[in-house]
């Protein structure tokens, strides 16, 4: 929670400090003391994948004097509203990113969905519409490209609803192509396609790879593909090192580089893993939690 709060407050020009458990002092344009007890209770019963949305909603509810963001917005909404006109065109795309203050993200609606991964909202071109006056087919392109910071408030939609809709729109376009790749004597599932939205499909990993409670290893090297291997036993270590080599090769040569890092997918959340270069190649250095899982599987 602390890390997510820090990102959201920093992007709005605020600093903060802990006053006591469950209470922070915020400095800057939205100064004041913010209680966190309600947020903590919501996070305790929510999926980890929803935590960034819950934190963002808290921050938006405090910085928006109208309090609009404190309430959810109906998915049906007002069909005459601007949100109703763009909701079918909004998509969620993953980019690489480590710095909340990155100039590339300035003014763009985004959130950090994992260490080193940024989820950005964007609008795709609309479908061709028939001119009601019968003059022929016309293209209506009022907006396309990244959603600007502030657009969600203008559309009167919460971040939770906007990101959920954007992901659903990507998923609704169908499953992507998969193929098996042999690396270090183990099979790795490579998922391709999606018109640049292949990385977004990593959120729905069970659609492509059979996983259990131990999750799977994932690399997302560029916008055209991601690869995964389920964590089921000691073979996960050579698989991880093979996937790191694949990630770095595809990151350097593929279109739209995203990340050359390895992630552990578990319960819908991506956790970044460590690695280091060695004389004979790349060495996988898992986090303590994943290392414990691998040791248990090796017994």
| 196 and 283 co-located in one domain | yes
| 96 and 195 co-located in one domain | no
pLDDT of amino acid 191: 97
- How much is the average pLDDT of 13-26? 88
| 195 and 272 co-located in one domain | yes
Residue 58 lies in a domain: yes
The separation between CA 148 and the C-alpha centre of its own chain, rounded to angstroms, equals 17
Query: Which position has the higher pLDDT, 49 or 19?
Result: 19
pLDDT digits (tens, 9 = 90+) for 220-273: 999 999 999 999 988 999 999 999 999 999 999 988 999 999 999 998 889 999
Q: Spell 16-38 as b/e; 16+ CB within 10 A means b.
A: beeeeeeebebeeebeeebebee
Q: Are 93 and 173 in contact (CB under 8 A)?
A: no
Question: End of a domain among 157, 172, 187?
Answer: 172
Query: Which position has the higher pLDDT, 115 or 102?
Result: 115
Question: End of a domain among 172, 197, 227?
Answer: 172
| 214 and 290 co-located in one domain | yes
pLDDT digits (tens, 9 = 90+) for 116-174: 899 999 999 875 443 333 333 333 334 578 999 889 988 888 888 899 999 999 999 99
| 185 and 294 co-located in one domain | yes
pLDDT of amino acid 248: 93
| 99 and 167 co-located in one domain | yes
Question: Which of 177-186, 189-198, 248-257 is predicted with the least confidence, judged by mean pLDDT?
Answer: 177-186
DSSP secondary structure string, 49-115? GGHHHHHHHHHHHHH-TT-GGGS---SS--TTSHHHHHTTTEEEEEEE---TT-GGGTTB-EEEEET
The separation between CA 244 and the C-alpha centre of its own chain, rounded to angstroms, equals 20
- Residue 76, judged by CB atoms within 10 A of its CB (0-12, 13-18, 19+), counts as exposed
Residue 33 lies in a domain: yes
Residue 76 lies in a domain: no
pLDDT band, residue 114 (cuts 50/70/90): confident
Question: Which of 14-23, 53-62, 97-106, 223-232 is predicted with the least confidence, judged by mean pLDDT?
Answer: 97-106
| 11 and 33 co-located in one domain | yes
Query: Which position has the higher pLDDT, 84 or 200?
Result: 200
| 140 and 223 co-located in one domain | no
Residue 77 lies in a domain: no
| 142 and 189 co-located in one domain | no
| 186 and 274 co-located in one domain | yes
What percent of the chain is predicted at pLDDT more than 90? Answer: 45
Residue 75 lies in a domain: no
pLDDT of amino acid 245: 92
The average confidence (pLDDT) of the chain is 83
| 107 and 11 co-located in one domain | no
CA of 69: how far to CAs of 20, 48, 60, 259, 275, in Å?
Answer: 26, 20, 6, 32, 40
Residue 36 lies in a domain: yes
Question: End of a domain among 172, 187, 221?
Answer: 172
User: Which residue is associated with the tokens 């800057």?
Assistant: 28
Residue 156 lies in a domain: yes
Residue 271 lies in a domain: yes
Report whether pLDDT(82) > 50. Answer: yes
pLDDT digits (tens, 9 = 90+) for 44-77: 877 787 788 788 878 877 776 444 444 443 344 4
User: Which residue is associated with the tokens 């509203």?
Assistant: 81
- How much is the average pLDDT of 189-202? 93
Encoded tokens for 197: 């939205």
What range does the domain containing 151 cover? 82-172
Question: Which of 1-5, 30-34, 159-163, 212-216 is predicted with the least confidence, judged by mean pLDDT?
Answer: 1-5
Domain count, the chain: 3
| 50 and 97 co-located in one domain | no
Max mean pLDDT range (4-13, 82-91, 185-194, 219-228)? 219-228
């Amino acid at each position: 929670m602390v890390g997510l709060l820090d990102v959201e407050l920093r992007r709005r020009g605020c600093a903060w400090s802990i006053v006591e458990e469950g209470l922070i002092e915020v400095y800057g344009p939205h100064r004041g003391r913010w209680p966190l007890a309600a947020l903590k209770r919501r996070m305790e019963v929510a999926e980890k994948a929803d935590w960034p949305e819950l934190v963002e909603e808290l921050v938006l509810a405090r910085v928006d004097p109208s309090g609009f963001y404190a309430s959810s917005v109906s998915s049906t909404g007002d069909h005459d509203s601007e949100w109703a006109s763009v909701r079918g065109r909004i998509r969620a795309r993953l980019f690489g990113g480590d710095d909340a203050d990155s100039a590339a993200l300035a003014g763009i609606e985004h959130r950090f969905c994992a260490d080193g991964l940024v989820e950005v909202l964007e609008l795709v071109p609309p479908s061709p519409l028939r001119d009601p006056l019968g003059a022929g087919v016309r293209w209506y392109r009022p907006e396309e490209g990244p959603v600007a910071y502030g657009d969600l408030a203008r559309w009167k939609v919460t971040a939770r609803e906007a990101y959920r809709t954007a992901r659903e729109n990507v998923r609704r376009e169908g499953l992507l192509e998969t193929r098996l790749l042999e690396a270090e004597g183990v099979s790795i599932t490579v998922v391709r396609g999606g018109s640049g939205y292949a990385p977004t499909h990593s959120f729905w990993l069970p659609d492509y790879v059979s996983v259990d409670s131990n999750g799977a290893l994932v690399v997302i090297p560029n916008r055209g593909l991601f690869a995964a291997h389920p964590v089921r036993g000691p073979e996960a270590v050579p698989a991880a090192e093979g996937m790191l080599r694949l990630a770095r090769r595809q990151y350097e040569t593929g279109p739209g580089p995203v990340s050359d890092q390895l992630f552990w997918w578990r319960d819908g959340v991506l956790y970044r893993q460590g690695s280091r270069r060695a004389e004979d190649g790349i060495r996988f250095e898992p986090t303590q939690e994943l290392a414990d899982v691998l040791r248990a599987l090796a017994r």
